[in-house]
Amino acid sequence: MNRILVTGGAGFIGSNFVRYLLNNDSGCCIVNLDSLTYAGNPLSLSDCEQEGRYSFVHGDILDRALLERLFDEFAFTGVIHFAAESHVDRSILGPEAFIDTNIKGTFNLVDVACNHWKKNPEFCRFHHISTDEVYGSLGETGAFSETTPYDPSSPYSASKASSDHLVKAYNRTYGLPSVITNCSNNYGPYQFPEKLIPLMILNIMEKKALPVYGRGENIRDWLYVEDHCSAIWKVFCDGKDGETYNVGGGAERKNIEIVHFLCDLVDQKLGHTGGSSSRELIEYVQDRPGHDFRYAIDASKLKNDLGWEPAFTFEEALEETVDWYLANMEWVNNVRSGAYRDWIDTNYAKR
Ligand code: NAD
Ligand code: DAU
């Protein structure tokens, strides 16, 4: 039985991954360590709580003593590290939490994992989840490969770059078995409604302004979260020690194209007819400082070496995502409400 520590499993990608793994590999048990920041929601895994192979620990990767206790108690055979401060705009307004969690937290985790591995040869993998933002910005052409030099623009991407370097250094210096995946923008169920796609879906539903940065010309390469989960598991199981793999959905779109698509789709689903279109809600607002122009992933290494390719097409998976938000307004309202934080404190004691 693989005993896997997942960090940040109450967040967007982590919660989708925990569910994916429980459904796709019966040979794993999972301990989910999450400090439940504004972005972490135990509700996102309420359907998994009764599963005997899953347990939740409310705690912080900055708490080294807790990490040591957990490694001793569960004798993990692997780590998949999602926990992070993940939102670029927040990193511009307040970088410190990003330095703490993304750099110091990753240092704690990789260091404790390394000490554990030296005494437990069963430990086979430290998998660090990272981002294409470490590579900086592309012009009109080209794509990020695993050998593209790091050139981060925001405090968020600089903190993720730093954490990548720490994980690589532990592999080269101490031999800690590790892999890194750098992926593009994810979308899908359970994403906190501050990111572009869920924010736009909900603002369209609620007839609020749709803030588009600059002229909406910036380009992202979109990856459905379930495709990301299958890529992570493929790399965790079959990736080569010490390697980096880029993960992309092969779906480059301008931000404004996505906002237009969502306006038309949500209007159609909600029966908003009669001449007016939600496109009228679009407001071009001041651009994000240091806004990277374009991201695009060359995922050929993952395809050629491990046989992974995305299974979902962008417009279909985006429609499924819209349907999920329309059907899950209770989750949305809970994660947006202050009262919900009190409920977490009452029901999920901190370790
Ligand atoms: P998220 O913000 O939705 O979730 C982050 C989770 O980490 C939350 O549950 C939060 O409570 C937890 N967390 C934060 N600080 C913690 C701490 N100190 N100790 C323990 N838990 C803590 O993030 P996400 O979008 O799911 O991203 C997951 C990972 O994937 C991150 O490392 C992010 O950098 C990376 N990534 C995300 C995307 C994307 O499009 N969302 C793309 C590329 C890479
Ligand atoms: O590329 C991977 C990264 O994708 C991850 O590492 C980050 O954790 C994740 O947050 C995401 O970063 P972005 O900054 O690309 O995502 P965001 O959803 O914030 O913005 C997507 C694009 O949309 C970006 O060009 C900025 C623009 N945008 C965003 C918001 C929230 C707007 O125009 N208006 C908005 O209100």
pLDDT tens-digit profile of 221-238?
A: 999 999 999 999 999 999
Residues 269, 327: contact at Cβ < 8 Å? no
Q: Tell me the longest C-alpha to C-alpha distance in the chain.
A: 69
Q: Which residues pair with 6 in a beta bridge?
A: 32, 80
If one residue of 36, 60, 82, 345 were mutated to test the ligand 1 pocket, choosing by the most ligand atoms within 8 A of its CB, it would be 82
pLDDT at 339: 65
- Nearest Cα to Cα of residue 5 among 42, 41, 51, 54: 54
Residues 40, 83: contact at Cβ < 8 Å? no
The structural domains of the chain, with segments of one domain joined by +, span 2-190+225-249+291-313
130 Cβ closer than 6 Å to some ligand 2 atom = no
Q: For residues 232, 233, 234 and 235, what is the CA-based torsion angle, rounded to 10 degrees?
A: 50
pLDDT tens-digit profile of 262-308?
A: 999 999 999 987 778 999 999 999 999 999 999 999 999 999 999 99
Helix 64-74 vs helix 106-119: angle between axes, to the nearest 10 degrees? 30
pLDDT at 110: 98
Q: Is the pTM of this model over 0.95?
A: yes
Percent of the chain with pLDDT strictly greater than 70: 99
Q: Which atom of ligand 1 is nearest to the CA of 61?
A: 19
Taking the C-alpha atoms of residue 233 and residue 25, their distance in angstroms, rounded to an integer, is 10
Distance 86 CA to ligand 1 centre (A): 5
- Cα–chain-centroid distance for residue 348? 22
CATH 3.40.50.720 fits 2-190+225-249+291-313, yes or no: yes
Residue 104 neighbours by CB distance under 10 Å = 17
Ligand 1 atom 4: the closest Cα is on which residue? 11
pLDDT tens-digit profile of 164-211?
A: 999 999 999 999 999 999 999 999 999 999 999 999 999 999 999 999
Question: Is pLDDT of 342 > 80?
Answer: no
From 20, 54, 135, 156, the catalytic residue:
156
Structure tokens at 145: 């490969």
Instruction: Let me know how many helices (H) and strands (E) the chain has, helices first.
Output: 13, 13
Query: 133 an active-site residue?
Result: yes
pLDDT tens-digit profile of 44-89?
A: 999 999 999 999 999 999 999 999 999 999 999 999 999 999 999 9
Distance 15 CA to ligand 1 centre (A): 10
86 Cβ closer than 6 Å to some ligand 2 atom = yes
Distance 269 CA to ligand 1 centre (A): 30
> For residue 213, which amino acid is it?
Y
87 Cβ closer than 6 Å to some ligand 2 atom = yes
pLDDT tens-digit profile of 87-102?
A: 999 999 999 999 999 9
